[in-house]
Amino acid sequence: MFFKGTLSMADGFASLAFLGVERSLTGRRWRQRSAEPGLVISHQRRHGLDEPLARALAARGVDEASAATYLAPTLKALFPDPSCFADMDKAAEILVEAIVKHRPCVVFADYDVDGATSAALLVRYFRALGRDLPIYVPDRLTEGYGPSPIAFRRLKREGAELVVTVDCGAAARDALEAAAEIGLEVVVIDHHLMRGGPPPPAAALVNPNRPDCGSGQGVLAAAGVTFVLLAALNREARRRGLFEARPEPDLRQWLDLAALGAVCDVTSLTGFNRALAAQGLKVMSAWRNPGLKALLEAAGAAEAPATTFHAGFVLGPRINAGGRIGRSDLGARLLATDDPVEAAELAAELDALNVTRKAVETETFEAAVRVLEHGSNLDPAAPVLVVAGEDWHPGVVGIVASRLRERYRRPAVVIGLDPAADVGKGSGRSQPGMNLGRAIQAAFDAGLLLAGGGHAMAAGLTVRPHLIPDLRAFLAERLAAEHKEAASADSLEIDALVSAGGAGRALWSAFQQLLPFGPGNPEPLFAAAGMRVERAMALKGGHVRCVLVDDSGDRLRAVAWRAAETNLGRRLLAADGALHVAGRLRPDDWMGREAVELEIEDAADPRQVG
């Protein structure tokens, strides 16, 4: 086999626990990703892939017909016809007409990365056609999420005739009805789940997740929907002859923004969305966008080929910091500016806010853990965690919910209480197989929430504090059946078994053909059996670093992030006997060694398996 020390288990045993691990140190069963043997062989022959990589491709549901575009996703092959989106042509006609007639327009954006990238895409398109497009982003603390009647009336008073909402608006029926009453035209560009029935009264409402949209592009982030809108705008402007006297905008130059929105909104990187992310990261790698370049420099990162790590962990958190604990429009302004000086100033401000955000997040997370684990608060059988605390910052509750979900392996809802206003604002994150957004929407319909909604994996809400116990009980009942099924399926899926010697740079490089990784295309997980743990040490931030040694004496550097206070971290630090270890490979170029290290996801004691 090409990869020394890389093994594959027979498909006949795919239903068995991988390495016999029925319950790991994080409480999960291990299994090998299942793949149809004939398809694995086909991928090997047709694409010249070694067996582990061909198996990984087949295990991700990639059939013979789509393998070529999966390995080399292109916009040409996967770009949808904009007209297949409900109201897309209507939206394009309205916006091009507004550009031609110089109508005063405003883009109204959500305060996260997806909203910022969507707004910046529209601003840049309008600028290319010689028009300015002001940005309005509501303040998270004083205005809350999405459009409101107050905000629309304000924009109307200030002279706006047309508002384009991005990454919000599809559920803002009250605001859209108020806009209709005052004669403010609104075009909605969104991707969030919508209830059935007639859509709210917008001039056009483009959302692949509206019930009557037949585009089949429901996995797109708002930035992806906006990018398709730009193609529709180009087509409409071309039909009107607008490019006879000026160059047609080359939309490919802005693919970096579409990719950033897709990655940071944790969308499924499949189909057209995969092509957007893959091609967008290539565009991002040139670092031509002044805002992204300045933010990379502010973060102290070197210019290098962009990856989902750059998007999701370097750029994204800093852009979000403005909306979470600073000025909500900073991220959109950064991504829209062409002024390097302004970009540097905004990037420095966002980087400083991100430092503050991390401190607030850590404090809130630790407080939430104390609340959950005090006495009998943590019910091991509860299908969902709902935790609240006074003065928890609304800007970090979503991140804290995500960390609690990772720690306790179930959906978590974190609510910050404002006693003076008698209101709690919260955010939730879910487990695969559990539709938290639908449950939150049901709680709103049942009268338990002042506001609420979202999608399967994330949701937001506003609630009266005295109703939180009722909300907890409602969600527990609503999600009980889904939790039972999700818990039984909560397993760690392994792509291949490796030795320390086999987990080298060649293996890592080969699997890079599956990039970009994300939901719908999980990053490969490798397992190593019977590894001795040496030189284990706890690092600042709760991380654990160690060296794994196999029976041949080969060594593999490894790290477990934020694990020191978990069963996994404590077992690594104890270095008591051999462990089966599972994780993801990362390049390790320190001192020019061109090696890899393993980011440990889980481990199991061989003495306790079977």
Residue range 261-296, pLDDT digits in tens: 999 998 999 999 999 999 999 999 999 999 999 999
Residue range 349-407, pLDDT digits in tens: 999 999 999 999 999 999 999 999 886 677 878 999 999 999 899 889 999 999 999 88
Residue range 517-549, pLDDT digits in tens: 998 899 999 999 999 999 999 999 899 999 999
Residue 362 lies in a domain: no
Across 12-16, 151-155, 503-507, which has the greatest mean pLDDT? 151-155
pLDDT at residue 507 greater than cutoff 50: yes
Q: Among 436, 465, 488, where does a domain finish?
A: 488
Residue 500 lies in a domain: yes
Residue range 293-327, pLDDT digits in tens: 999 999 999 999 999 999 999 999 999 999 888 78
Q: What is the CATH number of the domain that holds 25?
A: 2.40.50.140
pLDDT at residue 144 greater than cutoff 80: no
pLDDT at residue 185 greater than cutoff 50: yes
Residue 66 lies in a domain: no
Residue range 433-459, pLDDT digits in tens: 899 999 999 999 999 999 888 778 889
Q: Are residues 155 and 297 in the same domain?
A: yes
Q: What number of CA atoms fall less than 13 Å from residue 415's CA on the CB side? A: 25
- The total number of residues shown for the chain amounts to 610
> Would you call the peptide bond into 383 cis, given omega within 30 degrees of 0 as the criterion?
no
Cα 133 from Cα 276, distance rounded (Å): 24
Q: What is the pLDDT of residue 169?
A: 95
Q: What is the pLDDT of residue 376?
A: 63
Q: Are residues 177 and 111 in the same domain?
A: yes
Average pLDDT score over residue span 91-112: 97
Number of domains in the chain: 3
Higher pLDDT, 160 or 11: 160
The helix/strand/coil state of 173 is helix
Q: Are residues 465 and 523 in the same domain?
A: no
Q: Are residues 344 and 211 in the same domain?
A: yes
338 token code pair:
């062409």
Greatest alpha-carbon pair distance for the chain in Å reads 76
Lowest mean pLDDT among 149-158, 430-439, 551-560: 430-439
Q: Are residues 544 and 483 in the same domain?
A: no
Q: Among 488, 515, 540, where does a domain finish?
A: 488
pLDDT at residue 12 greater than cutoff 50: no
pLDDT at residue 1 greater than cutoff 60: no
pLDDT at residue 15 greater than cutoff 60: no
Q: Are residues 456 and 518 in the same domain?
A: no
pLDDT at residue 4 greater than cutoff 50: no
For the entire predicted model, the pTM comes to: 0.89
Q: What is the pLDDT of residue 11?
A: 46
Q: What is the pLDDT of residue 141?
A: 75
Cα 69 from Cα 80, distance rounded (Å): 14
Q: Are residues 468 and 507 in the same domain?
A: no
Contact (Cβ atoms closer than 8 angstroms) between residue 343 and residue 293: yes
What range defines the domain where residue 276 resides?
A: 77-352
Q: Are residues 464 and 511 in the same domain?
A: no
Higher pLDDT, 381 or 246: 246
Q: What is the CATH number of the domain that holds 417?
A: 3.10.310.30
Mean pLDDT computed over every residue of the chain? 93
Q: What is the pLDDT of residue 375?
A: 67
Residue 60 lies in a domain: no
Average pLDDT score over residue span 412-417: 96
Across 5-9, 88-92, 142-146, 405-409, which has the greatest mean pLDDT? 88-92
Q: Are residues 290 and 175 in the same domain?
A: yes
Q: Are residues 519 and 426 in the same domain?
A: no
Cα 473 from Cα 522, distance rounded (Å): 33
Say if strands 544-549 and 555-560 run parallel, antiparallel, or are unpaired: antiparallel
Residue 460 lies in a domain: yes
Residue 399, by phi and psi: left (phi above 0), alpha (psi -120 to 50) or beta? alpha
Q: Are residues 469 and 532 in the same domain?
A: no
Q: What is the CATH number of the domain that holds 297?
A: 3.90.1640.30
Residue 308 lies in a domain: yes
Residue 443 lies in a domain: yes
Residue 389 lies in a domain: yes
Lowest mean pLDDT among 123-137, 366-380, 476-490: 366-380
pLDDT at residue 491 greater than cutoff 50: yes
Average pLDDT score over residue span 16-36: 92
Q: Are residues 181 and 241 in the same domain?
A: yes
Q: Among 488, 503, 527, where does a domain finish?
A: 488
Among candidates 524, 75, 511, which has minimal Cα distance to 283?
A: 75
